[in-house]
Structure formats: structure tokens, C-alpha cells
Amino acid sequence: MFSILNRFYHQLGSPKEFYPISTVTTPIFGLLALALFIPGAYLGLVVAPADYQQGDSYRIIFVHVPAAWLSLMIYVIMAVAAAIALIWRMKMAFAVVICSAPIGAVFTALALITGSLWAKPTWGTWWVWDARLTFELILLFLYVGIFSMYHAFDERRIGERATALLSIVGVVIVPIIHYSVEWWSSLHQGQTVFRDGGPAMPPSMLTPLLLMAGSATFFYGYALFLNLRAHVLEENKGKQWVQGMAKTWIKRG
């Protein structure tokens, strides 16, 4: 079992081996994301009851919370991939860092935008310099900085190492954002799902929230694999195996 996993791990680490595997896995991620999104959106927007305090405005939670969750999870994945890339010099690990950054930036921006839309009817303002909101904004700048730094270097290897180091150093912001509502006085509500004593939400609201979170997670996998496939082809366009695939596609076309 270990040998099989080890072989699969090294196959994913090789651009040549990764590409045919991604041909199968990419649509699977997309289908799973869609399969969870449809019932999640229906249950959240139609079936779930209105909140007794916030009315229907709370329904933005079914987009805001998954986006906020992915904004943190993606950065952790990037930091782990960056460490693997620096230690074992794995090309695909570097690629995961680069290809995840724009996706993480989109989810972080979505979390900030939906949070502002939710804050207006709840707090009476679009934005406050709350600890969690402020650090989430810094996280957005980190994502943009990582992506921009990679493309700022003419030497690809230098860009990869610089972005990997920034990803690892910047991961300290993740626990700060997560625990900010406990460490500082905050308008932002505390944990409602993963907390001591169980979720503080009824099943009618919790179920669609988890479905939407699962959908967002699989969508990240789908978008990541699409980016990785494009990145692999661009970085290896001079390799014989890529040119061979191109000739095969031309013949089929």
C-alpha cells in the first residue's frame, strides 16, 4: 500500500506523469463541485428559514463562509507545497504554489466583498477596521504579491524560490485570522460551526452551508488542475512529450 502511494506521489510530482492523470481528475473535481453546489444553493436560498434577527440577508453566509474558508485553506496548501518544493525540489510543488495564488486571491476578494455586503445591514456600515477584516485584506495582498513576485523575475528558478519562501513566511497570518475574534475585541461573530459544544446552527442552515463549503473546495481543485495543466504545457512546451501530444491533437483535429 505504501509503495503504491509513494509511486502515485512521485507521478504527481512529475509534469510528464501529472498531465495524463489530470486529464481524468480535472472533470471529476468539476462534477463533484457542481453536484454539491446545486442542492447546497437550493437548500440555502429556498428551503432554509429566514434568520430571526437578520431575516433573509443572512443567506449570503452560504457564499461568504465557504469563500473565507477557502481563502485560508488555499494558503495553507501553498505553504505546504512550498516547503515540499524547497526541500525535495519537486517541480509540481512549485507549480501548485504559483497556480493556487490567483485562485486564493479570488476567494479572498469574494470573502471581503460578501462580508461587506453582509456587514451593511448587520453592522450599519460596509467596512470597519476589525482585526479579522484587516488581516483578511492583508492576506489578499499576500496572494497578489506572491503571484506578482513570480512573474517579476526573468529567471524562473529564482522566482519559484522567492515565492515559495514568501508563502512559507506568510502562513503565520492564517492562525491570526482564525483566532482574531478570540484574541481581540471584534464585531465579527465567533465560531459557529467548529466550536466546543457543537455547531451553533440548526441543521436546516448547517447542511447547505457544509454542502456549499464542499462545493467550493472541489471547485478549487478543479480550477487548480486547470491552471496546473496550462502551466505544465507552457513550462514544458519544448519537451518532446508535449510536442508529441500536440501532434496527436492536430491529427485528431
- Can you give the pLDDT of all 253 residues of the chain as single tens digits? 555 545 545 556 788 888 888 999 999 999 999 999 999 999 999 998 887 677 777 889 999 999 999 999 999 999 999 999 999 888 899 999 999 999 999 999 999 999 998 888 777 788 888 888 899 999 999 999 999 999 898 888 898 999 999 999 999 999 998 888 777 666 566 566 655 555 667 888 899 999 999 999 999 999 999 999 999 988 888 787 777 777 677 777 6
Note the pLDDT of residue 250: 74
Query: Which own/partner contact pairs does 132-139 have at CB distance under 8 Å and 24+ positions apart?
Result: 132/177, 132/180, 132/181, 132/186, 132/188, 133/188, 135/173, 135/176, 135/177, 135/180, 136/68, 136/71, 136/108, 136/111, 136/112, 136/177, 137/112, 138/173, 139/71, 139/72, 139/75, 139/108, 139/173, 139/177
For residue 48, count CB atoms less than 10 angstroms from its CB and return exposed for 0-12, middle for 13-18, buried for 19 or more: buried
Residue 68 grid cell:
473565507
CA atoms lying within 13 Å on the CB side of residue 246: 10
DSSP state of 55: B
CATH of span 24-252: 1.20.120
List CB contacts of 120: < 8 A, sequence separation 6 or more.
126
Note the pLDDT of residue 130: 84
Instruction: Scan for cell 461587506, then name that residue.
Output: 116
Q: Taking every pair of C-alpha atoms in the chain, what is the biggest distance, in angstroms?
A: 64
Note the pLDDT of residue 108: 98
Note the pLDDT of residue 71: 97
Annotated domain spans of the chain:
24-252
What distance in Å separates the CA atoms of residue 147 and residue 141, rounded to the nearest whole number? 10
Q: What are phi and psi of 55, to 5 degrees?
A: 65, -140
Note the pLDDT of residue 78: 98
Residue 222 grid cell:
478543479
